[in-house]
Chain A
Amino acid sequence: MLHIINFAHGSVLMMALYAGYFLFSLFGVDPYVAILILAPLFFCLGYALQRFVIAPISFGKEQNVLLVTLALSIILDNLALFLWTSTTRSIDVSYAENLVDVGVTMVALPRLVALGAAIVIGLLFWLLMTWTDLGKAIRAVARERQGARIVGISVDHIFAMSFGIGTACVAIAACLLLPTFYVTPQVGNAFILIAFTTVVLGGMGSFIGALVAGLLLGIVEALSGILLGESLGQIGIFLIFILVLLFRPTGLFGQRAL
């Protein structure tokens, strides 16, 4: 939304997956319950990270943000590698294999929950952006930073707030993923380009765009996996990313040029 390209997003996801993993394996906290703990925790983390690390170091320059978040992701990934080694971990919940009949096909329960949660979060997001003062302030800062500052919005605070919201969402996503997924220190890398592709394809700052793009990408990934085979299938996402950046940088639903 604020045109912050956060390279550490994948690493934050990885950290959240580990947090969820340890909450489950050490304290027996169910991943879905862990949302209640991890979402606020990661919100604070994201807020602090933007306000006290990324903003002061990058001096407000866009390319520096990219480099600072790159440095952060190197640090986080290797910290995880150092602390928890490269062992692949996953958790075992009783309902992971539960299948639900959705008419056409059978779907694993956790995936259905994830879909539902994604729609609910998308809706909440939209409400937040359109109806609250915070949402208005974020949109104002995105559109006209100087103007927002003049009318009394604390731009630093808003940047950090939206960063915090972003990391909180990542934490929720991690909790939703955990029942059907695994954790390694490198797991974030697999998601980072997919996430960027979704946002760029949908159009920066457009929620409907991101949702539609997410669906489209899911279809593309599944299709290219079927058509091109396991190892070549991943190429679909990257190609789409390149093509969208080259030919339609505003995305499907975006209005503003880059």
Chain B
Amino acid sequence: MKRRGFDAQLLVLLALGLFFLALPQFIHSSFWLGFWTMALFFALLGQSWNVLGGFGGQISFGHAVFFGTGAYMSAVLQVKFGIDAWTSAAVAVGAGALVGAFIGAVSFRYGLRGSYFALVTLAFAEVFRVLVNAWDFTGAGFGMLIALKPGAANLQFVDRVWFYYLILALVAITLAIAWWIEHSRFGAYLIAVREDEDAAQALGINCFRVKLAAITLSAALAALAGIFYMQYFLFVDSHIAYGPAMSINALLAPMIGGMGTVLGPLIGAVALGGLSEFTSAAIGKTPGVNLLAYGILLLIILRFLPNGLMGLFRGRA
């Protein structure tokens, strides 16, 4: 049984990979290319949240803190220190992981669980937002702008299709990580912590270290999403980077798609992107409409599909 499910999942992953690789051949409008690029971006952000929230059961309301650190770190290094984009990106991932490790260390050391962990992550994101917004070095209220210098060395592409392939590669890496988590000893520990932390502790699992590893990994991936965002839009400000909206975006995709599943965040991100386009087509581009639809969808999912859209497939298999 286990063996068969394992093979089916690999097949689905392979088919999806082929589909996404071939997709640009069939897209000729920049609109749809942008749509799929952003869907994959939200899949990346969602997967980073999923590592901690889905597999580890540690619901974070402040994933923007890692996302923003990645975005700001890469921007500051490039703009203020003239460091090239690739090195900046590498350092920024490290910085994101470090922030994750720090927040994880203090909040897990003092035993914050459940809602309290969620609230403390939100508070950390707000602290970073205020700091970045107040500090001239990080552009204060104006945000950070990277100069347009196209070229692979600067991680900027004139042909936007390369951004698509870049984010596709990043999503593929996170899918591999999620798949590894599902099949590794570390993942088993993490899921044990989610299901019953006290029992896991009693069985000899070092819950603190497992959770710390999860939040560090999760933060590094969120920072990666931030770096991509920075290179794609070349602009970020404190509200985009550290505001609650980005934290909510991070948790929506895995919530809708299915928490603690390999494919959930990707499916959720594509579903949300589609819903957003559908509502703007149906009701118009009034601000707030797509988020309104997200909120309603989230309520429906929580009520009827606690395992997300993935629950639909799992029930049948």
Contacts and interface: CB of A to CB of B under 8 A. Distances in A.
Interface of A: 5, 53, 56-59, 62-68, 70-75, 77-82, 85-86, 185, 189, 193, 196, 229, 231-232, 234-235, 238-239, 241-242, 245-247, 249, 258
Contacts of A67: 59, 255, 298, 302
A27 to B, nearest CB: 26
Instruction: Determine the interface band of chain B, counting residues with CB < 8 A from chain A.
Output: 35 or more
B315 interface: no
A258 B118 CA distance: 14
21 contacts: A57-B299, A57-B303, A62-B115, A63-B114, A64-B302, A66-B115, A67-B302, A68-B299, A70-B248, A72-B295, A75-B295, A78-B288, A78-B289, A81-B287, A82-B286, A82-B289, A86-B287, A231-B134, A231-B141, A234-B130, A258-B113
Contacts of B133: 231
Contacts of A185: 288
Contact of B292 (A78, A196, A239): A78
A99 B261 CA distance: 60
A245 B116 contact: yes
Given A57-B303, A74-B292, A238-B130, 10 more contacts: A62-B115, A66-B114, A68-B299, A77-B288, A193-B122, A232-B131, A235-B130, A245-B110, A245-B120, A249-B112
Contacts of B141: 231
From B244, B255, B306, residue with most partner A Cβ within 10 Å:
B244
Interface centre among A74, A79, A85, A239, by most chain B C-beta atoms within 10 angstroms, is A74
B241 to A, nearest CB: 16
B286 to A, nearest CB: 6
Nearest to A83: B288
| Most B C-beta atoms less than 10 A away, residue of A78, A229, A239 | A78
A62 B288 CA distance: 28
Interface in B85-120: 106-107, 110, 112-116, 118-120
B294 A232 contact: no
Contacts of B294: 74
